Amino acid sequence: MKSNVTLRLAQVATLTFAATVLLVGCQPIDPAASVSPGTHSAANARLKADVDYVDGELLLQFDEEATDDVKNKALDKVKGIPAEKILTKAMEKAGKKEGLMVVKVNKNVLEAIADLSNTAGVAFAEPNFIYTHTAVATDPFFTNGSLWGMYGPATSPANQYGSNAAAAWAAGKTGSAAVYVGIIDEGIQLTHPDLSGQVWVNSSDPVDKVDNDKNGYIDDTNGWDFANNDRTIYDGGTRGTLDDHGTHVSGTIGAKANTTGVVGINWNVTLISAKFLGSRGGTTANAIKAVDYLTTLKNKGINIVASNNSWGGGGYSQALYDAISRANTAGIMFIAAAGNSGTNNDATASYPSNYDLPNVIAVAAIDNTGALASFSQYGATTVDLGAPGVAINSTTAYNTYSSYSGTSMATPHVTGAVALYASTHPGATVAQIRNAILSSAVPTPSLSGKTVTGGRLDANAALAR
């Protein structure tokens, strides 16, 4: 006979819950509000339902040894109804058997979390945070001076505050299709003239309604849409989202050189879509699935070197921290936007960029004069370096090009540099990649005392580390 917990789970259809994520600029909403049980109570009180977290819903992690009776007592304590159990392949590989529950509650979420804080069998309970994005279109690329983020002090055109990727190209270093990068974001217009052929095609899982590669996702040809729980990574407005932001960051990382439009830091690279931002954004629950999806692919032998994370919001999530830690163990860098609120991340934490893990690099935005962008968040101990993030032209949906500003735009410059480094240093570890990117940062007055390195990205100099 099934346990009560099993019966409850069987009675509730698996749901995908939406929430908003910080795309272009990562403007986290009160990111100091960490909500591990029993901590940050004052910060928690400032959180707002359906603004900072999904109302009537929480994430619940039971101890591995918790019995069904203990679980039921905990659920009964908050009148909780399991809505979804998240047990990814990456969790299983890490030795997790219990998984993470999305639980519906008919009471104030923060009160329910407080009730669970000292409950037997509960490892942690936290909100299903909402992540938001704010994109600012200014707009129409390399030859006409518009793509300053790719320039360097001695390139033509030149801009000393660009990423200096063009200097690497001049030396014949333009990336490799054998290097894979995960785009945790909106979807990608894989048919865009500058992105066609740059997006992963999963030969191990042909479209036949069978999970041939046994990664838990049926026919994930180019990645997976966790926002809508299907294989279509580009919706192009049909579900209320243009997939502009995911397409934009993809172009900065890997738009191909084809005499059309823009070009990315890597002329050759393979992009995998882990879409979790939909028409209403994305939740912690779906972000975890997206991170673990890439980790599982890496564990299966796909050379994923980094994920780009131009989003943020909410507070500290132990569950998301654990997922990023699993990615670190697998050897995947996690490049994250510092945020767009103009605040100090040392004083008010911004997630996910503030997670203190070896694979996390937090990125601030600078403009074409080398100034820290007025909107960019910073932190002498929590934000690693700056990169071009103002008036950045790149690919957008419907075969278009747009100019956006934000730390979301700075982040893919660093992710692109990581991929370029991996193409010239096969097998490089997280530690080696991190050292190469950070140790080659160019000292920049506006970033002195504002970032860990006090400098800005130099994609070409990193290659010599």
Point out the residues that are catalytic.
185, 245, 408
Strand partners, 378: 344
| CA–CA distance, 370 with 119 (Å, rounded to integer) | 51
Q: Is 376 exposed, middle or buried (0-12, 13-18, 19+ CB in 10 A)?
A: buried
CB-CB contact of 413 with 249 (8 Å):
no
**Per-residue DSSP letters for 248-299?**
HHHHHHH---SSSS---S-SEEEEEEEE--BTTBEEHHHHHHHHHHHHHHHH
Q: Determine contact, residues 257/263, Cβ cutoff 8 Å.
A: yes
Q: Is the dihedral of CA 372, 376, 377, 381 positive or negative?
A: negative
Nearest CA to 22 among 130, 138, 121, 143?
Answer: 130
**189 vs 141, 171, 212, 218, 255, CA distance in Å?**
19, 30, 25, 20, 12
Structure token digits, residue 32: 């100091």
As to burial, measured by CB atoms within 10 angstroms (0-12 exposed, 13-18 middle, 19+ buried), residue 22 is buried
| CB count in 10 Å sphere of residue 3 | 13
Residue 212, helix vs strand vs coil: coil
Q: Using a CB cutoff of 8 Å and minimum separation of 24, what contacts does 50-53 make?
A: 50/130, 51/130, 52/127, 52/129, 52/130, 52/313, 52/314, 52/315, 53/19, 53/109, 53/127, 53/128, 53/129, 53/130, 53/314
